[in-house]
Chain A
Amino acid sequence: MNQSDDLSELRRRARLDRHATSYPLIVIGAAGFHYASFRTFGWLPIVYGMPLAFVVVWALQWRHERERGVGSGHDGMLMLAFAVLLGTSFILSETWWSITSVVANLSEVWALLPSALGLATLGWRQRNGMLIGASVSVAVALTAGEMAKDSYLVFPGGDASTSYLVLLPQLAFAAVTGAGLLQLRREEAPE
């Protein structure tokens, strides 16, 4: 093995050890899955809930740092939480909806977009393809859900149905959480 391979392996090991990928995917995926189940939001829960998910990731990494002795990196998680708070508040603000005709007809589910952008920022800072892929999948699901928002998936029996606007983002966030759980297994596997 040459030196650059050694260095790449060291960096990969350190990234696995600090749970840089699994914690954000699991926590933000789970929070997004929860909020994606609503077509409309009461203003407060999502505005504070999604930023809180970033704070939870920060707290988990902080606890892990104390226990394992491996730092949480330069991710700026609390800054991201604040940016998500501002972004989500801005998207849901009355002023924004009333003055911006282009997005005025968009569904409130788009308030999840700042969280996806938060994941993308995290992925970009870490050069982490999984985090970037997760954010892209959520953005694609939001777009597809918006395009099919008047269509419903009718469950067998015909008694229950769900809008694709809800279903697609929920599936995307569920996939993000699932990927996070699989990644956690990899991170905790002995080498």
Chain B
Amino acid sequence: MSASDHPADGLDDVVHQRHRLGILVVLAETRRADFAYLKSTLGVTDGNLGRHLQVLEEAAYVTVEKVFEQRRPRTWVTITKAGREALNSEIAVLDDIVSRARRSGQD
């Protein structure tokens, strides 16, 4: 196998990061979540989460909406169709890598 057709080449650098992958997995299940929920679920700091969301938003994988609810600021993060597709593609590539590794382990 040449280096160019290794399944790892299909990994998306934007998605293939532990916390960003986690954000997309949570949002794929819930469609949208607020900043505080993502922060507590993923166990990250405000600054860290904010940076990851910025990367995902720039890739158009999520939209970030800042609103006031009952006079309090709230940030909602919603997954986009492109975000879902990127997540599904990432999972497919990871599955492929794992299955290849298992096969090579059996040889």
- Residues of A participating in the B interface, judged by any CB pair closer than 8 Å: 3-4, 6-7, 10-11, 13-15, 17-18, 20, 65-66, 68-74
B31 touching A69, Cβ below 8 Å: no
Number of interface residues of B (CB under 8 A): 24
Contacts of B27 in A (CB 8 A): 71
| A-side interface mostly | helix
A49 to B103, CA, bound (A): 54
* Nearest CB of A to B35, in Å: 8
- Apart from A14-B25, A17-B37, what are 6 other A-B pairs with CB-CB below 8 Å? A4-B94, A4-B98, A10-B26, A10-B41, A17-B30, A73-B31
Given A72-B30, A72-B31, verify A11-B25 contact (CB < 8 Å): yes
| CB atoms of B37 and A10 under 8 A apart | no
The distance in angstroms between the C-alpha atoms of A13 and B30, with both chains bound, is: 11
**Cβ of A69 and Cβ of B37 under 8 Å apart?**
yes
Can you list 11 contacts pairing A with B, beta carbon distance less than 8 Å?
A3-B94, A4-B98, A6-B18, A10-B26, A11-B25, A17-B41, A18-B29, A70-B33, A71-B32, A73-B30, A74-B31
Please tell me which one of the listed residues B30, B42, B69, B78 contacts residue A18 in the complex, with CB atoms under 8 A apart. Answer: B30
Interface residue from B25, B30, B74, B94 paired with A70 (Cβ < 8 Å): B30
Tell which of A3, A66, A71 touches B18, judged by Cβ atoms closer than 8 Å.
Answer: A3
Interface 1/0 per residue, B1-32 and A, CB below 8 Å: 00000000000000000100110011111111
